[in-house]
């Protein structure tokens, strides 16, 4: 888990981490008086100079953080509408099983906010447009292949949440480059674990929208 304190220095929030806190906590009543909802879209630059946008709708509603990512899947020549439709259901399940309800934010008052993530491939407007190519091949955030593994798609989705690569010569975090072969953000994610650090953009948003000074990211599933 990750304990984060908020400090404002020249308009930038700085975060410090402390491990070893208990995750055996009870859900507490929220201290917020109203719901918060907005659309996020920001540019991010990796250590290797590669840049991309992360973006999503995020809502703080009652005792839950609801996050939706709307993705427009555009079939390249050679990918049929039927094939793409069949793939959508597989990808949606893989992404949501990987990312949703895995972590929560815990405030210093003991309130717990599970992070629930959904992906939509049909929407009035989209946060991201992804070209879907036939067969297999190299993928990035906005270029997928119809035969990509579920772990690969979940990895690319992680970039849409603001997660960096965690392999050598990847789009690593410039402030804290991490190489971790167990991570979903590695170059060949197999089991593909997710970690608290992958939710730092959501964590930072929560701090800016609430009066909380200290929050933790806690794992809901071991």
State yes or no: pLDDT of 124 exceeds 70. Answer: yes
Q: How many domains, in total, are found in the chain? A: 1
pTM: 0.84
Q: Measured between alpha carbons, how far is 215 from 53 in angstroms, rounded to an integer?
A: 25
Give which of 167, 173, 160, 214 is closest to 41, Cα–Cα. Answer: 160
pLDDT confidence of residue 156 = 97
Q: What is the DSSP letter of 191?
A: S
Tokens standing for residue 85: 């439709």
pLDDT confidence of residue 34 = 58
Give the range of the structural domain holding residue 176, as residue numbers without chain letter.
Answer: 2-219
Q: List pLDDT tens digits, range 181-215.
A: 999 999 887 777 999 999 999 999 999 988 787 89
pLDDT confidence of residue 35 = 83
Q: Measured between alpha carbons, how far is 185 from 166 in angstroms, rounded to an integer?
A: 5
State mean pLDDT over 33-44: 86
State mean pLDDT over 141-160: 96
Q: List pLDDT tens digits, range 88-117.
A: 999 999 999 999 999 999 998 899 999 999
Q: Measured between alpha carbons, how far is 43 from 23 in angstroms, rounded to an integer?
A: 33
Q: Measured between alpha carbons, how far is 145 from 211 in angstroms, rounded to an integer?
A: 43
């Amino acid at each position: 888990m990750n304990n984060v304190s908020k400090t404002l220095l020249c308009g930038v929030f700085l975060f410090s981490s402390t491990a070893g806190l208990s995750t055996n906590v009870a859900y507490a009543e929220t201290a917020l008086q109203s719901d918060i909802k907005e659309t996020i879209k920001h540019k991010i630059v990796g250590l290797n100079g590669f840049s991309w946008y992360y973006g999503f709708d995020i809502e703080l509603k009652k005792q839950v953080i609801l996050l939706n990512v709307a993705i427009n899947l555009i079939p390249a020549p050679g990918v049929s509408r039927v094939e793409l439709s069949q793939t959508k259901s597989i990808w949606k399940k893989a992404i949501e099983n990987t990312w949703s309800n895995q972590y929560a934010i815990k405030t210093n008052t003991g309130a717990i906010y599970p992070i629930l993530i959904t992906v939509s491939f049909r929407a009035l407007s989209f946060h991201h447009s992804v070209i879907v190519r036939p067969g297999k091949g190299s993928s990035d955030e906005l270029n997928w292949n119809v035969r990509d593994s579920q772990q690969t798609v979940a990895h690319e989705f992680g970039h849409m949440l603001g997660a960096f690569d965690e392999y050598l010569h990847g789009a690593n975090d410039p402030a804290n480059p991490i190489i971790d072969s167990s991570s979903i953000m590695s170059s060949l994610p197999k089991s593909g674990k997710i970690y608290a650090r992958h939710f730092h953009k959501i964590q930072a948003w929560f701090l800016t929208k609430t009066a909380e000074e200290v929050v933790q990211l806690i794992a809901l599933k071991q």
